[in-house]
Structure 1
Amino acid sequence: MSAHPRTLHTRPTTPLQHDPSVERPEVTGAESGPESPFPVYLEGWVTRGFGRGSKDLGCPTANLPDSSIDPYATTLQTGVYYGYARVLDPPDHPQNSLEFSTSASSSSSSTPCPHDQVWPMVMSIGWNPFYKNRSRTAEVHILHDYPHDFYGKELRVVMLGFIRPEYNYSSMDALIKDINTDKEVSLRSVSRPAYTPFAQDPFFTRESRLEEPKEDPNKVREKPTMEEREKL
């Protein structure tokens, strides 16, 4: 992680500014496998975010509730991470045996897959300074084209490494370019021999320990107004 990490406790008052001249690494994390504090295990009911991942960025995300990342508020910093994820149907829908798509290690398929499949993912945790969010979010982009959303379903994530800090951007195009690079870095990083076994982690197949969601998973997060954005 960065030399001056920004933890998840409070929203940074001066966001880091993206520098397009800095060359991005092709992979992150040790070749020998995840290093402390990884792997990190997260789970929660998928909730609605701001609805702009698909519309603005071409990167649909599944949002985890704040409660899922609260235990790591002093361990993790704001930024982008990589690893594996699995979407599970509610308990009344029988689960098939765990399956991992090896094709996802090289590219994201456009073929719809069962919910019980494990896929590489890239995840952003923080306040998204480009949009000036008022609340912290944990947004997971699964590297596969799903035919529909999965609000209200259970999402399990194994974070294996850190890609980069959270930045503010000078333009939407710069943000989108960095997001696409994040996806490529994630796919290359998890496809290494020391990382692929985590797709078969027992965490993905154990019985659910989640309580029923206390809030409506379809509730859309409140966006800051233009006036509020100018003040932030």
Structure 2
Amino acid sequence: MKSLPYFCRGEVIRGFGRGSKELGIPTANFPDSVVDNLPADIGTGIYYGWACVGNGDVYKMVMSIGWNPYYKNTKKSMETHVIHTFKEDFYGEILSVVMAGYIRPERSYNSLEALIAAINSDIEEAKVKLELPEHLKLRDDNFFTSAPSSSRVSFPQQDKQRPSSDRIWSARHTVQLHMLGLRQSKQDGSHALQFGSLLSDSEP
């Protein structure tokens, strides 16, 4: 996938709550506008990468993009699980994520237990793959150190060729809470999209 690694940032909002209550694996649900703006080559499936809440530490994560066949969702969604145990919820905080790689396509399961087992397997695979040098370096990307503590910012499509520092400065002076946008990493020119919504769980 040419768009990977893909950098994402947005406000944490409430989702279905199924991750915590039914699965024991808290997840994020993001606004429709975020899903609609994903690059065409980032299809449905399970991804792995890194995540940071506000200006906090960076942790491993897994993300599901699609319709969650087991629950028969009618809308495509992005749901993220941060592989860490947080002491409390962080609704309203800014969550920054980089999608580093792809694990598998979406699948339906015959039971809740089978779904939980598959997710736990994804988590274990993510932990291993994120130790690879090419993925481990993304944990220290300046995208995380420059993460805003509040509000979503927008990087227009035409801004992609501008130096990253210039676009960050511009965005901080033109914040639009309802808009999403793109950004490039100084290190590799990868895109970034605004998004929101998450709970947490699980130690690495």
**C-alpha displacement at 1:36, in angstroms?**
2.6
Corresponding letter in the other structure for 1:42: C
Question: In 2, Cα distance between the equivalents of 1:40 and 1:212?
Answer: 21
Alpha-carbon distance, 1:70 to partner: 2.7
Q: Is the 8 A contact 1:42 1:157 kept in 2?
A: yes
Query: Any idea what SS the aligned residue of 2:35 has?
Result: helix
- Which is richer in helix? 2
SS in 2 for 1:68: helix
Equivalence for 1:41: 7
Aligned to 2:27: 61
Check the 8 A contact 1:46/1:65 in 2, yes or no. Answer: no
Q: TM-score w.r.t. structure 2 length? A: 0.71
Residue identity opposite 2:22 in structure 1? D
SS in 2 for 1:75: coil
Residue type of the alignment partner of 2:12: V
Larger radius of gyration: 1
1:152 maps onto 2:70 in alignment: no
How many positions carry a matched residue from both structures?
A: 156
1:77 aligned residue:
43
Identify unmatched segments of 5+ residues in structure 2.
Answer: 154-174, 179-195, 198-204
TM-score (norm 1): 0.63
**TM-superposed deviation, 1:63:** 2.6
Which consecutive residues of structure 1, in runs of 5 or more, have no partner in the other structure?
Answer: 1-34, 89-94, 96-115, 219-232
Residue in structure 1 matched with residue 106 of structure 2 by the alignment: 166
Deviation of 1:129 after TM superposition, in Å, equals 1.2
Query: Displacement, 1:162?
Result: 0.5
Shift of 1:126: 0.9
Relative to structure 1, the CA distance from residue 207 to residue 155 in structure 2 (aligned partners, 3 Å threshold; closer, same or farther) is: closer
Equivalent residue for 2:131, pick from 184, 188, 191:
191
Seen in structure 2, the aligned counterparts of structure 1 residues 207 and 123 have a Cα distance that, compared at 3 Å, is closer
**CA pair 207-128 structure 1, distance change in 2 beyond 3 A:** closer
Once the two structures are TM-superposed, the CA of residue 65 in structure 1 deviates from its matched residue by 2.3
Correspondence 1:113-128 to 2 at 5 A: 116-128=56-68
Aligned partner of residue 98 in structure 2, secondary structure:
strand
Q: Identity over the aligned pairs, expressed in percent?
A: 46
Q: Which residue of 2 aligns with 1:178?
A: 118
Find the residue that maps to 1:167 and give its secondary structure. coil
CA contact (8 A) 1:44 1:68 kept: no
Per-residue CA distance 1:133-171 (angstroms, 9 max, x = gap): 122211110000111111111111100100010111111
Runs (4+) of structure 1 moved beyond 6 Å?
Answer: none
